[in-house]
Copies of this chain bind each other. A is one copy, B any other.
Amino acid sequence: MYQDRIRRPALLNKVMDAQQAAQLFRSGMSVGMSGFTRAGDAKALPLALVERARREPLSLTLITGASLGNDSDGLMAEAGLLARRLPFQSDAALRRKINAGEVMFIDQHLSETAEQLRSRSLAAVDIAVIEASAILADGSIVPTMSVGNSASFAQQAGQIIIELNLSTPLALEGLHDIYVPGARPGRAPIPLTSPEQRIGVASIAVDPARIAAIVITDSPDSPSTVQPPDAETAAIAGHVIAFLEGEVAAGRMGPQLLPLQAGIGSIANAVLHGLIGSPFHDMTMFSEVLQDSAIELLDSGQLAMASASSITLSAPMHEKFMRDIARYRDKIVLRPQEISNHPEIVRRLGIIALNTALEFDLYGNVNSTHVCGTHMMNGIGGSGDFARNGQLSLFVSKSVAKGGRVSSVVPMVSHVDHTEHDVDVLVSEWGLADLRGLAPRERAPLIIERCAHPDYRPQLRAYFDAACRRGGHTPHVLEQALSWHTRYQADGTMLDA
C-alpha cells in the first residue's frame, strides 16, 4: 500500500516499475542519485540500469552523495554503465575499474559537488533518482536515511525519479532540514549558528511537473561494515580522550567540548565509542555520517544531539533505531552534505574533526586515499571539509598495517590529501603528537617518538637526521623520500633489511 505515501494524487499515475523508469536514460546523461555512506541510496534503478546496460550500450556520469550500498556501484561499474563517477565511492569492484583507468573518478570534497553543479563548473544533472519515504501534497520529497546532494539534484534535474521505499518508517518526516545556498553573486550568509538549529524545511522541494516516475521499493539500506573496537583502536581512543581532557583543563573548551565530527570507519567509530563513560557531557555532533557510536552516545545521555547528512548503522543498531525513532528524531537533524560539511559552518562552529589517515609523514602531511601514491581506496570524502576549517583537526591511524610490513608513518607521504597546515594532532595506538604551533623540524621528532611503531623508529630517526644534514625548512633526502613505498612494492616490507 503505497498510496498513503503519495499525498499528491495527480502523481499516482507516475508509478511504474524500475525497468520502465530505466528507459528514461540515454547514454551520455549525467545522473544524480541519492545515497551517502550506504544510507538512503536508490535500490531499484541501479539494478534496472545494469539490466539495460547488459542488453544495450549505456554509459552515464553518476554523481551521488557519497558511497552507495547494495553493491550498486560495483554492479554498475562491471556492466560498463559508469563512464564517470563522483564524488566518492567505497566499492571493491568499482575501485578496480577506477585504478585500471576504465572509470573516470572525480574525487571531491563532499561539500563541493553541489557548489560546482550550481556554478556549472560541472555539467548539469539530467536525471535525479532520489529515495523517499513519502511524497507530500506539494510534490516535495521526504528523504530517508540520508540527504546527501539530493536537494541540489532535484533543483537542477530535468527529470526526477522517486524511489518510494515502503520499508522506511513514515516517522522519518521531520528528521531532515533542507537548506540550499543561493547562487552567486548575491548569496546571503547561511544562518546556522549551532548544531541543533533548523534553518530550512523538512522536505526536498520538487517541481511536480518534472517528476517522471515513481518506483516502489521495500529493501533496506545495506548495514554498516564497521569493525568492532579492538585493543589498538581502544588505545587510540584513550589518547584522544586524554588530549581532550587536557583541552578542557587548559580552558580551551568546556566539558561539553566543541561539536564533534568523526569520519566513517572503524577507528573513528571506536574513538566515539570510547567517549562513553568519559567525563564529557552535553556534547553535540556536527558530522557528515552518524555511525553506531553516535546512537550509543545519545543512549548514554552524554550526547545532547547530532547533526549529519546520513545515518549508517549495523543491522542490530538499525533495528533499534527504527523501533525507537520517535525518541531519536528529536535529537538528530539530517542536512544536505553541502551544509553538514560547509566551510562557512565548520569554521563558525569550531568543529573538533576526527578523521582516518592511510599514512602520514614526518611533517604531518596526510594521505587518506592513495595506496602507494597511485591506487585509489575510497576518496577524500568530507575529511578535508572538516580538517581545513575546524578548530581542531585530529587524524588517527594504526601505526602499522599488513602485519607490520607497512608503516603508517613514512618519510614523505606518497600522496597528499591534507597538508601539514590542516593537521593539528596525529594519533596512533602508541600515542599522540600535538603539532599545533610547531615548525616542521619540531614536528618530526614528536611524530616519530609518539606515533610511529617502535620497529620503525630507528629508520625514521636515521632518515630525519640525514635530511637535517641536507638542510631546509622541511628537510628531506629527496632520492629516498619515497623509498619506503618502492621497497614495499619490491620486497613486501617497508622494514630495512
Complex Cα gap A475–B416 (Å): 14
Complex Cα gap A489–B380 (Å): 33
Decide if A107 is an interface residue (CB 8 Å cutoff): yes
Query: Please, which residue of chain B has its CB at the minimum distance from the CB of A485?
Result: B478
Complex Cα gap A462–B396 (Å): 37
Other A-B pairs beyond A184-B258, A373-B481, 20, CB < 8 Å: A99-B471, A99-B472, A101-B475, A106-B439, A115-B347, A116-B437, A122-B437, A184-B348, A184-B350, A186-B193, A189-B190, A343-B347, A344-B347, A373-B412, A373-B474, A374-B478, A376-B472, A416-B416, A416-B419, A481-B482
Whether B252 and A120, one on each chain, are in contact in the complex, defined by CB atoms closer than 8 angstroms, is yes
Whether B437 and A106, one on each chain, are in contact in the complex, defined by CB atoms closer than 8 angstroms, is yes
Question: Within residues 1 to 29 of chain A, which ones have a CB less than 8 A from any CB in chain B?
Answer: none
Decide if A79 is an interface residue (CB 8 Å cutoff): no
Decide if A133 is an interface residue (CB 8 Å cutoff): no
Query: Which of B98, B108, B194, B441 has a CB less than 8 Å from the CB of A473?
Result: B98
Residues of B within 8 A of A483 (CB): 479
Decide if A370 is an interface residue (CB 8 Å cutoff): yes
Complex Cα gap A440–B309 (Å): 28
Copies of this protein in the assembly total 2
Knowing A185-B258, A343-B344 are in contact, say whether A107-B472 is a contact too (CB < 8 A).
Answer: no
Residues of B within 8 A of A64 (CB): none
Question: Within residues 434 to 469 of chain A, which ones have a CB less than 8 A from any CB in chain B?
Answer: 436-439, 441-442, 467-468
Q: Which 4 A-B pairs have CB atoms at the shortest separation, nearest pair first?
A: A374-B472, A184-B350, A189-B189, A376-B473
Query: Which of B190, B258, B478 has a CB less than 8 Å from the CB of A414?
Result: B478
Interface hub of A107, A439, A467 (most chain B Cβ within 10 A): A439
Smallest distance from the beta carbon of A303 to chain B beta carbons, Å?
16
Whether A415 and B101, one on each chain, are in contact in the complex, defined by CB atoms closer than 8 angstroms, is no
Query: Which of B193, B374, B376, B471 has a CB less than 8 Å from the CB of A470?
Result: B374
Decide if A388 is an interface residue (CB 8 Å cutoff): yes
Residues of B within 8 A of A119 (CB): 252, 350, 391
Q: How many residues does chain A have at the interface if contact means C-beta atoms less than 8 Å apart?
A: 85
Decide if A84 is an interface residue (CB 8 Å cutoff): yes
Residues of B within 8 A of A122 (CB): 436-437
Query: Please, which residue of chain B has its CB at the minimum distance from the CB of A100?
Result: B471
Residues of B within 8 A of A474 (CB): 370, 373-374, 376, 415
Query: Please, which residue of chain B has its CB at the minimum distance from the CB of A412?
Result: B373
Decide if A239 is an interface residue (CB 8 Å cutoff): no
Interface hub of A194, A347, A476, A482 (most chain B Cβ within 10 A): A347
Query: Please, which residue of chain B has its CB at the minimum distance from the CB of A392?
Result: B121
Query: Please, which residue of chain B has its CB at the minimum distance from the CB of A122?
Result: B437
Smallest distance from the beta carbon of A255 to chain B beta carbons, Å?
13
Query: Please, which residue of chain B has its CB at the minimum distance from the CB of A376?
Result: B473
Query: Please, which residue of chain B has its CB at the minimum distance from the CB of A189?
Result: B189
Complex Cα gap A207–B479 (Å): 55
Contact with B along A236-271 (1 / 0, CB 8 A): 000000000000001110000011000000000000
Question: Within residues 386 to 421 of chain A, which ones have a CB less than 8 A from any CB in chain B?
Answer: 388-389, 391-392, 412, 414-417, 419, 421
Q: Please report A residues at the B interface, Cβ cutoff 8 Å.
A: 84, 98-101, 104-109, 112, 115-116, 119-123, 184-191, 193-194, 250-252, 258-259, 342-344, 347-350, 365, 370, 372-376, 380, 384, 388-389, 391-392, 412, 414-417, 419, 421, 424, 436-439, 441-442, 467-468, 470-476, 478-479, 481-483, 485-486, 489
Q: List 18 A-B contacts (CB under 8 A).
A: A99-B473, A104-B439, A105-B439, A107-B473, A119-B391, A122-B437, A185-B259, A185-B350, A186-B194, A187-B193, A187-B348, A342-B347, A343-B388, A370-B473, A370-B474, A374-B475, A414-B478, A416-B419
Query: Which of B252, B347, B478 has a CB less than 8 Å from the CB of A372?
Result: B478
Complex Cα gap A325–B101 (Å): 58
Query: Please, which residue of chain B has its CB at the minimum distance from the CB of A380?
Result: B421
Complex Cα gap A416–B421 (Å): 11
Complex Cα gap A123–B250 (Å): 12
Smallest distance from the beta carbon of A253 to chain B beta carbons, Å?
9
Residues of B within 8 A of A439 (CB): 84, 104-106
Smallest distance from the beta carbon of A106 to chain B beta carbons, Å?
6
Complex Cα gap A123–B178 (Å): 40
Residues of B within 8 A of A438 (CB): 104, 106
Complex Cα gap A365–B414 (Å): 13
Smallest distance from the beta carbon of A67 to chain B beta carbons, Å?
16
Query: Which of B99, B189, B486 has a CB less than 8 Å from the CB of A193?
Result: B189
Residues of B within 8 A of A123 (CB): 437
Residues of B within 8 A of A470 (CB): 374
